Amino acid sequence: MKSHVWRPLYLVLGLIALVLIARLFIVPKGFGVNEQGYMYGFYRKANEAEWKSLGAKYKTSEYCKNCHADKIATRKDSLHAAIPCENCHGPAGNHPDNPPKLEIDRSRELCLRCHAYLPYAASGRATITGINPEMHNAGIECVNCHNAHNPKREATR
Amino acid sequence: MVHGELWTVKEFFVYPNEYIYWSIQIVMYPFMTGLVAGAFVLSSLYHVFGIKQLKDIARFSLVFSFALLPVAMMPLMLHLQQPLRNYEVMATPHFTSAIAAFGIVFSTYAMIVASELWFVYRKHFVETALSLGRKTHKGPVEFFRYLLFSALTLGAYDVSGEALHKDEKAVKVLAGVGIPVACFLHGYAGFIFGSVKANALWMTPLMPVIFICSAVVSGIALCMLTYILTMEIRKFIVGWKRKRYPTLSSQEESQIKSVEAHVVNITSRYLLMFMILAITLELLDLIFRGYTAVKSWDILRNLIYGKDFTNIFILQYGLGNLLPFILFLLPRLTIKRAALGSMLMLMGVFMMRWNVVIGGQSFSSSFAGFMHYHLPLIPHDLETLKEGLVGALAVGAMPFILFWILAKIFPLFGEEKSS
Amino acid sequence: MITRRDFCKKTMLVAGGLSLPLAALEIFDPKKLLAEKADKARVRWVFLVDTHKCVGCGFCVKACKLENELPLEANVARTWVERYVVTRDGRIYADTPNAGRDGFTNDKIALGLGKYQQVKKENIEKAFFVPKLCNQCENPPCVQVCPVGATYQTPDGVVLVDRSWCIGCGYCVMACPYGMRFFHPQYRVVDKCNFCYHRISNGMKTACMDACPFGARRIGNIKDPGDPVTKIIMRERVGVLKDEYGTKPQVYYLGLSKEVK
């Protein structure tokens, strides 16, 4: 074995050893095969908790109810009761701390998401009152005439 | 703008997140690895199978294969969105992925080629190191060369006949081991594509084999082309010298000429052989798809015979395969014809990679829409520089720069005469 | 000449050498993995989409983007809504303008390249909306192909991406038959729908489900027999998308049609 022929091999073995040692430092703690096995569960376990710890921005209408129960009550007998507050008022986040004021989307485009007429009988759209946006008071915001919280009631503006 | 949006134009129904994410650099990647593998196979034809006629080009293509090696990695680095994290492929390889083995296969192959080169050039290293060592007054360049060559000997200064015989044996073994590894390196580049079940054009078990065959074609073609170029330059230099010193004999020039013609003749035969194999498999794949006509065939037919017709049938099969095929088969092959033929073949193989990589992403997985790729020509930010024409040209030019540098360490010609 | 001692020594060496790689392969033992898969988790998140209820308002897409910090103007989406219009003469048109972020407010169907197609009411045979989101496959091909272990399936069945470890090779993007994955414009790593993992893990519903006024989207735990979503999946006729790829998708659809891509 004392032949010069093996020298490149020693060099290669040295390199492999270097890579293996480097791996000890590079691979993050907790990286390995987890519950789902090698094919689907080879990862850094701590990442799961990182994803879980992200804060929610949309807090649901239940959260709004804590302070704005009166507003929620106004829509009780309306079809719009199904629409979550945050769809128009924007995600609550940590309101009222941050942001202190939510930006309300009063645009015509918002209402048209559901109320632009589309002749799609096979879809849920058919069950909603629809208008032709070009014919029905084009350019005027819907909330000028309609009460968004409860369309049955008078407009508030 | 999201990644991929810049060079993708959508038509009909395409899912919102679909773009051509694997762009020009991923076309370059299999093209470059193909060249590496092909060049190595060509050099092994001499070392392993003892095809004596290829002796002259064998050494040449081995060095070229080594020059191409780092370049095969370059497109991947330019393509990654997080290139600084490349080491992770070695740190936490996930072997159910075809890409994971890249680091290992690639380094194994690199080591084999490097070792083989070492054995081929060991005598040269020792002689250079010793002759430089004997010099008492060394300039800084000479001193650096001395250090370099001394390091390259790896401390093995034995150049006796017995030791050299062992070197030869080692070269043969390494070249033998190298062929399957080279084929694996490239075949598995084909596997990366062939195993993507979500892509109707890519998914075929023939993909690795097709990739290997076209790899060998492109590798041989490039070696032949570079060989012809180098020989022409040598001829030119010799001719120029003779003009200045008319007393020199014309013997050298004619010798180069005859050697060149001979090598080109033999090499082109192997080129043709591998090309026939590659085209047979590609056509088999196409026929099979048309005959079985599964769900995806509607959109694939649209793509192959419609949108990509020029790319596939004119550029790839016509100009890239058929025309050079005729050029090589016509009797009395001239050097110029061979050079043109190899160039066309290189273009053909490049177009094949293009049609696989870009073509495979040119239709939506909804099977109801197309995506058009527009290669960014003029770079205006890092992304268009990396994944545009400039990036691709940089990758294409790199092997020649490296080859030029390597040729200074590994003499390509005339070793026999000096010894 | 081989002595008996030599022979024994060599045999032991060979046997030892062979058993070493076998031991290394043990993590691949499928039975063990199956057992692990079967009992560990009490939760397996699934999703139920009722396409009959969808009106194409796109509130879900908007809420998803804001909730998951994906710029509204970025032309990628974790979830989107598709519109299908089938004409009387059998042509199928489909589109999803801006992923349905602003809803469907007119009858112009986008054809790409700046072209639109209008289909008259009397020519429409059927038309409907289909919300799409990550199928959190039981056999996620995207996870299988990640070369570095940067994407994975959690024990409760959701496929996540480790943003600190993704190298951005895009192989997972290629491997997903549903086109769910994309590159996040800011983080420059792969992003995808993860059933709002931060919400469902903390007792909330997904942002898209909360934003839907019509109950077209619902998340559930298939391992809980009392879960209303589980009951529907078990008892009613539900479909999944592209099951021919063997991915075992876990987003179930009510009212799926053959036209749906």
Give the list of residues 6+ apart from residue B101 with CB closer than 8 angstroms, or none: B93, B95, B188
Q: Determine whether C43 is exposed, middle or buried from the number of CB atoms within 10 Å of its CB (0-12, 13-18, 19+).
A: middle
Q: Determine whether A119 is exposed, middle or buried from the number of CB atoms within 10 Å of its CB (0-12, 13-18, 19+).
A: middle
Give the chain C residue nearest A125 (alpha carbons).
Answer: C55
pLDDT in tens, C56-112: 999 999 999 999 999 999 999 999 999 999 999 999 999 999 999 999 999 999 998
pLDDT in tens, C158-188: 999 999 999 999 999 999 999 999 999 999 9
Interface test with C, best of B77, B82, B86 (most C CBs within 10 A): B82
Chains in contact with C, where contact means 3 or more Cβ–Cβ distances below 8 Å, are A, B
Measured CA to CA, the distance from residue C255 to residue C257 in angstroms comes to 6
Give the chain B residue nearest C73 (alpha carbons).
Answer: B1
Q: Where are the domains of chain B?
A: 24-195+387-419, 220-373
> Residue C27 has what pLDDT?
47
The CA-to-CA distance between both ends of chain B, in Å, stands at 62
CB contact under 8 Å between C178 and B18, yes or no, is no
> Residue B17 has what pLDDT?
96
Q: Residue C129 phi/psi, 5° resolution?
A: -115, 145
Considering only CB atoms, B87 lies closest to which of A11, A26, A38, namely: A26
Residue in B209, B184, B213, B214 with CA at minimum distance from that of residue B194? B209
Compute the mean pLDDT over every residue in chain B, rounded to the nearest whole number: 89
The answer to whether residue B418 scores a pLDDT higher than 50 is no
C88 with C123: CB under 8 angstroms? yes
Distance of CA C158 to the CA centre of its chain: 9
| Residue listed under structure tokens 């990654």 | B80
The answer to whether residue B364 scores a pLDDT higher than 80 is yes
C132 with C178: CB under 8 angstroms? yes
Give the chain B residue nearest C261 (alpha carbons).
Answer: B366
Interface test with A, best of C119, C162, C208 (most A CBs within 10 A): C162
Q: Is A99 on the interface with C (CB under 8 A)?
A: no
Q: Exposure string (b/e) for C100-123, b if CB count within 10 Å is 16 or more?
A: bbbbbbebebbbbeeeeeebeeee
Query: How does strand C151-153 pair with strand C159-161?
Result: antiparallel
Among A residues 54-93, those touching chain C with beta carbons less than 8 Å apart? 54-58, 60, 82-84, 86-87, 90-91
CB contact under 8 Å between B90 and A19, yes or no, is yes
Q: How far is B200 from chain C (nearest CA, A)?
A: 10
pLDDT in tens, A87-141: 999 999 998 898 999 999 999 999 999 999 999 988 989 999 999 999 999 889 9
Q: Where are the domains of chain C?
A: 141-191
Give the list of residues 6+ apart from residue B133 with CB closer than 8 angstroms, or none: B146, B150
> Residue C146 has what pLDDT?
95
| Residue listed under structure tokens 């030029």 | B404
Give the list of residues 6+ apart from residue C243 with CB closer than 8 angstroms, or none: C249
> Residue C70 has what pLDDT?
95
**Residues B239-260, mean pLDDT to the nearest whole number:** 78
Q: Is A41 on the interface with C (CB under 8 A)?
A: yes
Residues of C in contact with B4 (CB under 8 A): 183
> Residue A64 has what pLDDT?
93
Q: How far is B158 from chain A (nearest CA, A)?
A: 8
A124 with C52: CB under 8 angstroms? yes
CB contact under 8 Å between C202 and A56, yes or no, is yes
CB contact under 8 Å between C199 and A122, yes or no, is no
- How high is the ipTM of this complex? 0.89
C166 with C151: CB under 8 angstroms? yes
**Residues A49-67, mean pLDDT to the nearest whole number:** 94
Residues of B in contact with A7 (CB under 8 A): 154-156
Distance of CA C53 to the CA centre of its chain: 21
Q: How far is CA B127 from CA A56, B130, B146, B286, B402, in A?
A: 72, 5, 11, 55, 23
> Residue C21 has what pLDDT?
47
The letter for the amino acid at C223 is K
Compute the mean pLDDT over every residue in chain C, rounded to the nearest whole number: 89
Which CATH code fits C141-191? 3.30.70.20
Residues of B in contact with C94 (CB under 8 A): 13, 366, 368
B298 with B367: CB under 8 angstroms? yes
**Residues C195-210, mean pLDDT to the nearest whole number:** 95
> Residue A108 has what pLDDT?
93
The answer to whether residue B233 scores a pLDDT higher than 60 is yes
The answer to whether residue C37 scores a pLDDT higher than 60 is no
Percent of chain B with pLDDT over 70: 98
> Residue C69 has what pLDDT?
94
Interface A–B counts its CB contacts (< 8 A) at: 42
Residues of B in contact with A23 (CB under 8 A): 90-91
CB contact under 8 Å between B118 and A12, yes or no, is no
Q: Is A38 on the interface with B (CB under 8 A)?
A: yes
DSSP string for residues in B213-230: HHHHHHHHHHHHHHHHHH
Interface B–C counts its CB contacts (< 8 A) at: 149
pLDDT in tens, B118-140: 998 999 999 999 998 888 888 88
C1 versus B88: the higher-pLDDT residue is B88
C81 with C58: CB under 8 angstroms? yes
With cut-offs at 50, 70 and 90, classify the pLDDT of residue C39. low
Give the list of residues 6+ apart from residue B407 with CB closer than 8 angstroms, or none: B63
- For the record, the structure tokens of A3 come out as 């032949």
Q: Exposure string (b/e) for B215-224, b if CB count within 10 Å is 16 or more?
A: bbbbbbbbbb
- For the record, the structure tokens of B292 come out as 């079985």
The answer to whether residue B247 scores a pLDDT higher than 80 is no
Residue in B163, C246, C187 with CA at minimum distance from that of residue B171? B163
Q: How far is CA A41 from CA B262, C140, C151, C159, C171, in A?
A: 58, 11, 9, 10, 17
The answer to whether residue C235 scores a pLDDT higher than 60 is yes
Residues of C in contact with B363 (CB under 8 A): none
CB contact under 8 Å between A7 and B154, yes or no, is yes
